[in-house]
Amino acid sequence: MTRKSLLVGSAAALALVVTACGEKPDAANAEAAAEAPAEEANLPEISVSDAELEGNPFRQEWDTPYGVPPFAEIEDAHYMPATKKAILELRADIDAIVSNPEEPDFENTIVALDTAGASLNRVLGVFSNITNTDTNDTLSELEAEIWPMLTRETDAISFNDALFTRVKAVYDQRDRLGLDEQDARLLELTHREFVRNGAALSPEVKAEVAAINEELSGLTTKFGRNLLLSTKAFKIEITDEAELAGLSDDFKSALKVDGEDKWVLTVDRSVYETFMTQSENRELREKMFDGYRLRASEGEYDNGPLAIKIAQLRAKRAELMGYKSHAHYQLEPRMAKTPKGAEEFLLKVWEPGLERAKEERAAMQEMVGDEFQIAGHDWWHYAEKVRQDLYAFDDNALKPYFELGAVRQGAFDVASRLFDITLEPVEVDGWNPVVTAYDVKDANTGEHLGLFMMDMYARDSKRGGAWMSSYRNTSNINGDDIRPIITNNLNLITPAEGEPTLMRFDEVETLFHEFGHGLHGLLTQIRYSTFSGVDGPRDYTEFPAQILEHWAGAPEVLADYANHYETGEPIPMELIDKMNAAATFNQGFKTTEFIAASLLDLRWHMLTSEEAAEITDAREFERKVLEEYGLLPEIEPRYRSQYFSHIFAGGYSAGYYAYLWSEILDADGFTAFRETGDIYDPELAARLKKWVYEAGGLREADELYRNFRGSDPTIEPLLKLRGFAEQPSEG
In this structure, are residues 320 and 206 in contact, taking their beta carbons and an 8 Å threshold?
no
Alpha-carbon distance of 154 to 113, in angstroms, equals 12
What pairs with residue 486 in β-bridges? 452, 470
Burial (0-12, 13-18, 19+ Cβ within 10 Å), 53:
middle
Q: Annotated catalytic, 514?
A: yes
User: 10-residue block means of pLDDT along the chain (731 residues)?
Assistant: 33 30 31 37 87 97 97 98 98 97 98 96 97 96 94 94 97 97 97 95 95 95 94 96 95 93 93 96 98 95 98 98 97 95 96 96 96 97 93 88 98 98 98 98 98 96 94 90 97 92 95 98 96 92 97 96 96 91 92 98 98 97 97 97 95 95 96 97 98 97 96 92 64 34
Q: What pLDDT does 7 receive?
A: 25
Strands 263-266, 235-238: pairing is antiparallel
How many helices and strands in the chain, by DSSP H and E?
30, 9
Alpha-carbon distance of 243 to 111, in angstroms, equals 63
Q: How far is CA 67 from the centre of its chain?
A: 24
Burial (0-12, 13-18, 19+ Cβ within 10 Å), 409:
middle
Packing angle of the helix pair 587-605, 304-320 (nearest 10 deg): 60
Q: What pLDDT does 392 receive?
A: 87
User: How much is the CA Rg of the chain, to the nearest whole Å?
Assistant: 25
Catalytic residue among 89, 193, 514, 622: 514
Q: What pLDDT does 43 receive?
A: 85
Alpha-carbon distance of 597 to 599, in angstroms, equals 6
Alpha-carbon distance of 470 to 484, in angstroms, equals 7
Closest CA to 468 of 287, 194, 693, 243: 693
Q: What pLDDT does 15 receive?
A: 30
Spatial CB neighbours of 132, under 8 Å, sequence gap ≥ 6: 9, 10, 462, 463, 467, 469, 489
Strands 475-477, 436-442: pairing is unpaired
Count of beta carbons in the 10 Å neighbourhood of residue 500: 17
Closest CA to 314 of 304, 305, 323: 323
Q: How far is CA 645 from the centre of its chain?
A: 11
Alpha-carbon distance of 311 to 689, in angstroms, equals 38
In this structure, are residues 470 and 144 in contact, taking their beta carbons and an 8 Å threshold?
no
Alpha-carbon distance of 276 to 378, in angstroms, equals 8
Residue 454 phi/psi, 5-degree rounding, is: -125, 135
Q: What pLDDT does 505 receive?
A: 94
Q: What pLDDT does 396 receive?
A: 84
In this structure, are residues 17 and 3 in contact, taking their beta carbons and an 8 Å threshold?
yes
Q: What pLDDT does 41 receive?
A: 57
Closest CA to 592 of 451, 435, 722, 424: 722
User: Beta strands of 166-306 (E only): which ranges?
Assistant: 235-238, 263-266
Q: What pLDDT does 36 receive?
A: 35
Alpha-carbon distance of 337 to 329, in angstroms, equals 10
Burial (0-12, 13-18, 19+ Cβ within 10 Å), 477:
middle
Q: Which helix (H) or strand (E) element contains residue 259?
A: none
Alpha-carbon distance of 303 to 290, in angstroms, equals 16
48-64 pLDDT per residue, tens: 999 999 999 999 999 99
Alpha-carbon distance of 501 to 456, in angstroms, equals 10
Distances (CA, A) of 172 to 107, 110, 167, 180, 188: 15, 13, 9, 16, 10
Give the pTM: 0.86
In this structure, are residues 273 and 251 in contact, taking their beta carbons and an 8 Å threshold?
no
Alpha-carbon distance of 316 to 326, in angstroms, equals 8
Q: What is the mean pLDDT of the chain?
A: 92
